């Protein structure tokens, strides 16, 4: 079942790339006590994700934070090394890159997709959510092949 507005984010574990190597981060701790703009992409370094999705959040980070967002985070079903390299290549220093290497978070929120026809296997759908102290306040899930409602601009317009 897909997570809904008003639901608590399920307990899972992300892996965050750091200067000291990959660090496990529980979703409970990550979302506790703050407002987080989280967006999910089907894959690091993929065309729309690299050309528009991540760059939009990098560009709008200050505006999102000015409207009360404490943290901006990107998740994808990729490993922490790939997420770290993608974040560096995109100069995404203001964005927490959260690896969901086994797709546990995508599955737990009911937003996994089958990308096997593109050689991607099971991935997370393209979406954004605003999470306040672990509770979903906004959820914007893209239709297959689209990039509209999960953009930084759309989320900013809805704050």
Q: How far apart are CA 19 and CA 33, in angstroms?
A: 25
Q: How far apart are CA 154 and CA 131, in angstroms?
A: 15
Read off the DSSP letter of residue 90: T
Per the listing, tokens 């991540």 go with: 54
The yes-or-no answer on residue 49 being catalytic is yes
Nearest to 78 by CA among 94, 102, 47: 102
Contact status, residue 46 vs residue 119, Cβ threshold 8 Å: no
Read off the DSSP letter of residue 52: I
Catalytic residue among 3, 9, 44, 49: 49
Nearest to 156 by CA among 37, 16, 1, 28: 37
Catalytic residues: 49
């Amino acid at each position: 079942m897909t997570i809904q507005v008003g639901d608590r984010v399920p307990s899972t574990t992300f892996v965050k790339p750091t200067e000291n190597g990959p660090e496990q981060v529980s979703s409970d701790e990550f979302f506790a006590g703050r407002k987080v703009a989280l967006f999910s992409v089907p894959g690091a370094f993929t065309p729309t994700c690299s050309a528009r999705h991540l760059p939009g959040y990098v560009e709008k980070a200050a505006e999102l934070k000015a409207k009360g967002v404490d943290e901006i985070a990107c998740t994808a079903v990729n490993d922490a090394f790939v997420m770290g390299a993608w974040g560096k290549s995109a100069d995404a220093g203001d964005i927490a890159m959260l690896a969901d290497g086994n797709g546990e978070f995508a599955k737990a929120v009911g937003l996994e997709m089958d990308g096997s026809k593109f050689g991607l296997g099971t991935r997370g759908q393209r979406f954004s959510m605003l999470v306040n102290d672990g509770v979903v306040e906004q959820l914007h899930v893209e239709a297959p092949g689209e990039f509209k409602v999960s953009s930084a601009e759309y989320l900013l317009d809805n704050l």
